[in-house]
Amino acid sequence: MTLGQFECAGYSTEPAPDREGNQRSAIVFELVPADASDKPAETDEQPIEEVELEVDLIGLRTRALEAARSTPQVTGAAARRSLYRRSATVRRYVLARAAGVCESCNEPAPFITLQGEPYLEPHHTRRLSDGGPDDPRFVGAVCPDCHREIHHGQHGRAKNEALIAEISRKEAATGA
Ligand SMILES: [Zn+2]
Ligand SMILES: [Zn+2]
């Protein structure tokens, strides 16, 4: 049986007996379903406390990279909140990077949201990466059609590879 993919939202250490009954310190990983941070905005949109509109792409990128590097040493609801905040920071940057244009097909976003922003969906191009699940280098902003095709289409894998290449081209241009 497979339970699907999970991402590590954080970890803690706690004492646990080993096979001989000696107390050891065990690392307990807090896992959340990998899809938790990769849902279309309409289903995972929750109030974000800081809603200030930053236009400085470099500043957004710095914060997104910082957020991606930090693995919270907490579990439970706090870990999920922290993972959500991290996803929100990364998403804000990725949407700013896309500037209203799908990073896969290069067409304008299909509509403008109630908040007045072009509607694009964050897509994680890799499940597990050195930079963590929310590394902005591995998250693209794509239109709903491209997003579905990447996940369900015959050429989804190739489309995902092309998206990875496009993102790294953009990231190289942004610097660092
Ligand atoms: Zn598209
Ligand atoms: Zn996706």
pLDDT of residue 53: 47
133 or 2, higher pLDDT: 133
Per-residue pLDDT tens digits for 113-170: 999 999 999 999 986 444 456 788 889 999 999 999 999 999 999 999 999 999 999 9
CA of 151 to the centre of ligand 2 (A): 6
84 or 16, higher pLDDT: 84
138-162 in b/e form (b: 16+ CB < 10 A) is bbbbbbbebbebbeeeeeeeebbee
CA of 7 to the centre of ligand 2 (A): 14
Per-residue pLDDT tens digits for 70-115: 766 667 887 777 777 778 888 899 999 999 999 999 999 999 999 9
Ligand in nearest proximity to the CA of 163: 1
CA of 74 to the centre of ligand 1 (A): 36
CA of 124 to the centre of ligand 2 (A): 5
